[in-house]
Structures are given as C-alpha cells and as structure tokens.
Copies of this chain bind each other. A is one copy, B any other.
Amino acid sequence: MMPLAAFQSYLQRHLPGLLEEEVAVFTGLFTPRTLRRQEVLVHQDEVGRHGAFVLSGCLRAYVTDAKGKEHILQFAPESWWIADQYSLLHQAPAQFSIDAVEASNVLLFDPAFYPRLRQLGPELQQFFYELLQNSVAAMQHRLIGVLSATAEARYLDFQQRYPTLAQRLPLRHIAAYLGITPESLSRLRKELARG
C-alpha cells in the first residue's frame, strides 16, 4: 500500500532525530484503512475508538446541533491528524463526529496509543504536545474571527490559509466551517467576484 510512504516522509520531516528502529515501532502503532467518501469514522455521542493520520484525501470533524445543522470544527487533509482526543483518552462520548469528505487513506490509532507513546521517549511526546498547542492556536484564531470579523473577512482568511482546501472542498462545507449558510457564501462570493 503505497501511500504509507507519505507517513515515512512526514516523520523524517518533523522528527528527524528518530532512529530507524523507533520509526518502525512507532509506525507499528497504526492500522492503515481506506475510507469511502462520506464514511463516518467517529460518531458524535458515542465513545470514539479511533483517531487518524491522513495519508491522502480529507476528513472533517463536525458537530450536528439541535436543529440538525452541521458545524465544522476542523478539516484534515493529507498529513494532518484528527481525533477527539478527550473522548479517546477518557473513553467518554465523542463531542463531535469525524467523516471523510473525500475518499481517503488513513492510519488509525486507538486509546492504547497514548500510553505507548509515553514509552517511546520524550521526543515524540514533545512533538504531540506541540501539535496540540498548534491546534489551540488555530482554534483561538478562529474564535477571534467569528467574534470580530465579517463572514467575508473570514472567507478571505480561509482562502489565504488553506488555498488548496478552498479549491477542492464543496462550498457548503466551507460555509459550515465559516459559520454561515451556503446561500450567504454564494452571495458573498458573487460580491467578491464583482470587486
């Protein structure tokens, strides 16, 4: 299964200090899996059993609110991690669902991943700590955005931060990420196109 090479190169890029043997052990913690478009990996309100590293394709984390509307917390294209970590670590009901936006190849990990990670030495631990910090920073940025910026400004910011995602994702998903209706996004795009 070729796309695994994407994981090897990811490790080399971000954890160059890892010994070949450590890489092997670490890689052994994951289970490869293919997801079809729309296939659900984690169901909101059920205990999550997996998190994922995305080899190819794109996943999303989203909540479905009382009125049935979906709100997207995060997209995870190639080389991103996605999981409800809290649910995994505490075996608590998941706060959100995770599914595949596109047909995807992923590496799954399960709750046992965390204790094993700790045995694998400080470098990996620190790496995951920093990943988590990055997601805090990203979330803060989004929160500030919805608190202070217009939908148009948020859309432009999204395009700038994630140019490839902005092109390949269906607009309705982008709208659900920005926190507006597809109709509003459509209007907004027309405005922008006119200049």
Residues on A lying within 8 angstroms of B by beta carbon are 63, 65, 69, 71, 73, 85-86, 89, 95-96, 118, 122, 125-126, 128-130, 132-137, 139-144, 146-148, 179
Residues on B with C-beta less than 8 A from A141 are: 95
Q: Are A130 and B89 in contact (CB under 8 A)?
A: yes
Q: Are A65 and B144 in contact (CB under 8 A)?
A: yes
Q: Are A146 and B148 in contact (CB under 8 A)?
A: no
22 contacts between A and B (CB under 8 A): A63-B148, A65-B144, A65-B148, A69-B148, A71-B144, A71-B147, A73-B140, A86-B133, A86-B136, A96-B140, A125-B125, A125-B129, A128-B129, A129-B129, A129-B132, A132-B136, A139-B139, A139-B140, A139-B143, A142-B143, A143-B143, A146-B146
Q: Are B137 and A136 in contact (CB under 8 A)?
A: no
**A87: nearest residue on chain B (CB-CB)?**
B137
CB distance from A59 to the nearest CB of B (A): 16
Q: Are B179 and A136 in contact (CB under 8 A)?
A: no
Q: Are B179 and A146 in contact (CB under 8 A)?
A: yes
Complex CA gap A179/B144 in Å reads: 9
**A122: nearest residue on chain B (CB-CB)?**
B118
Q: Are A135 and B136 in contact (CB under 8 A)?
A: yes
Complex CA gap A122/B135 in Å reads: 22
